[in-house]
Amino acid sequence: MPEEPDIELSFRGGRLVSALPIALFIAWAIFQSGILGIGDTTGLVAGMLTGLIVGLLFVRGDWKDYADVIFAGMTRRVAATAVVAWLWAGMFAETIQVGGFVDGLVWAATVLNVGPGLFPAVTFLLAALLATGIGTGYGTAIAFTSLVFPAGLLLGANPVLLFGAILSGAVFGDNLAPVSDTTIVSAVTQDADIGGVVASRVKYAVVAAALAIAAYLVAGFGIPGVWGGMPHVDVAGEVSASVSPWGLVHLLDIAVVIVLAVRGRHIIEAVSWGLLLAAAFNVALGAANLVDVSAGSMLLFSAPQNGLTQAVEALPLLGAVVETVPAGQVGVGGSVYSGAAGFFPLIVLTLLLVAGAEIMRAGGGFDAIQELVIDRVATTVRRAETTMVVGTALVNATVTINTAAEIAIAPYIATLGKRFNINGYRRANILDANTSALGYIFPWGGGLLAGYGAMQGLVGGEATPWFTAEMLVNPASVFPYVFHGWFLVAVFLFAAWTGYGREYVSDRTSEEVSRV
């Protein structure tokens, strides 16, 4: 069946008006997240819907064409690919966490008796390892703020520096993990395979990480520790007693995913193998009572009480838990369920953003911006790449959900990069660097707010009765200490200006989305 021809739209006010849906979304995101401090992805969905409706009012001609363009955008392969990859990545990330991987990392740090000066640097490394394995910087920020942050304070580490180290680790994983949402989007929007993108990205991430480690070591031993009056307690024994090393076995399934992805296997295949291995480890560790998998099962069926439910409840189900609950509390849960469901709002937002970008393309908005930028600014490949870095930085500094910002700017990066024959791997890396970094740096960033929300949950908590509201880190004070984020942006500015790592289309051929 032949493909339908692309529809062209005409807008009152000219080609740039086709950017109105995306522009209104960005304004909504700034108001919601930046001014009001509400990091709600579903709220951003409402903002994008509003932008699409307002854009309809400026269309010349038949509104049906505008509606058809929305459907055409939402059914593009780039959107479908990201959606499918997110679902698999979400299940994998949650299954690892159920298996006690975070506990294993905390256990390793406490057993090694890491002191307050070294603790921020070690925290950065461990957070980077977790984020690279599970592919979610937000989840890493929440998990480490809940588990590692209070232990670091009791050891005497500087709280602002420690929080910055956690956010830096989240940046590292978001940027490098094959199963990260930003990695997936940056690859598929630039017609590059995920494995190739990850392999080509290592040289930038490692340089920034090495600089960040050095900075945390210098700052850790040079900046005073906790507030006066807070107890400096050696909690190594207490924490080691409450966590288990067995979760470190998931380093194996993380390695499987990374190796398979980098070697070019389909991302769903790579994650599926990791997921199966993680599930097998969880079942084995739970059966041996080494990990309390029942506290966060892979599958949880909450069913109404009846004879059949009680019979099933007594059966030994591998990796699954069946429980009887009152009729109003029935449902399905567990890591497989919640890992996929956690991406549902982002999936809807992604589809709508791709539709908005398609409207901008059909209305000539991208062509107008491209002509303006190329004629006046990006007149050489060096200036073009610098413009790409600065442009992604500006968008990501305002749109606080990093993946949403990445999707909004991705068509511009693709168009400008192709104009100068820049390879898809290089374009994907420029696109992802600022997306991964700036969402964890500024006080209104989604990643920072996720970690701060977890920190607020520590106040008066059962496990942290000593933690008071006065001990909360002001989100506005942490941005200078997200060292890896700043160094990652700096590395790409340096790379754009000097040509470090630059690749052209003729240098290497991407297999595009066939291996995604």
User: To 5 degrees, how large is the angle CA 296–CA 297–CA 300?
Assistant: 115
Question: Does residue 364 surpass a pLDDT of 90?
Answer: no
Question: Does residue 371 surpass a pLDDT of 70?
Answer: no
Residue 278: pLDDT band (50, 70, 90) is: confident
Specify the range with the lowest mean pLDDT, choosing from 61-70, 135-144, 298-307, 479-488. 298-307
- CA 427, distance to chain mean position in Å, is 18
Q: How far apart are CA 453 and CA 462, in angstroms?
A: 17
Residue 186: pLDDT band (50, 70, 90) is: confident
Specify the range with the lowest mean pLDDT, choosing from 86-95, 298-307, 407-416. 298-307
Residue 508: pLDDT band (50, 70, 90) is: low
pLDDT of residue 233: 47
More confident residue, 148 or 278: 278
Please give the torsion angle defined by the CA atoms of residues 497, 500, 504 and 507, in that order, rounded to the nearest 10 degrees: 160
Task: Return the HEC string of 280-325.
Answer: HHHHHHHHCCCCCHHHHCCEEEEEECCHHHHHHHCCCCCCEEEEEE
| Mean pLDDT over each residue of the chain, to the nearest integer | 76
- Highest mean pLDDT out of 205-214, 243-252, 315-324: 205-214
Are 133 and 172 spatial neighbours (Cβ–Cβ below 8 Å)? no
pLDDT of residue 329: 65
Are 293 and 267 spatial neighbours (Cβ–Cβ below 8 Å)? no
Q: How far apart are CA 170 and CA 141, in angstroms?
A: 6
Q: How far apart are CA 473 and CA 509, in angstroms?
A: 47
Strand, coil or helix: what is 497?
helix
Residue 96: pLDDT band (50, 70, 90) is: confident
More confident residue, 402 or 120: 120
Question: Does residue 34 surpass a pLDDT of 50?
Answer: yes
Residue 484: pLDDT band (50, 70, 90) is: very high
Partners of residue 300 on adjacent β-strands: 321, 333
Could you give the C-alpha distances from 92 to 138, 298, 322, 340, in angstroms and in order? 15, 10, 21, 9
Residue 196: pLDDT band (50, 70, 90) is: confident
Question: Does residue 292 surpass a pLDDT of 70?
Answer: no
Name the token pair of 173: 């994983």
Q: Which residues contact 374 (CB under 8 A, 6 or more apart)?
A: 384, 416, 419
Using a pLDDT cut of 70, give the percent of the chain over it.
75
pLDDT of residue 229: 44
Question: Does residue 513 surpass a pLDDT of 50?
Answer: no
Question: Does residue 257 surpass a pLDDT of 90?
Answer: no
Mean pLDDT of 39-51: 82
Strand, coil or helix: what is 51?
helix
Question: Does residue 441 surpass a pLDDT of 70?
Answer: yes
User: DSSP H helical segments within 9-116, as ranges?
Assistant: 20-29, 41-56, 63-74, 77-98, 101-111
Please give the torsion angle defined by the CA atoms of residues 488, 152, 478 and 223, in that order, rounded to the nearest 10 degrees: -90
Strand, coil or helix: what is 422?
strand
Q: How far apart are CA 243 and CA 231, in angstroms?
A: 22
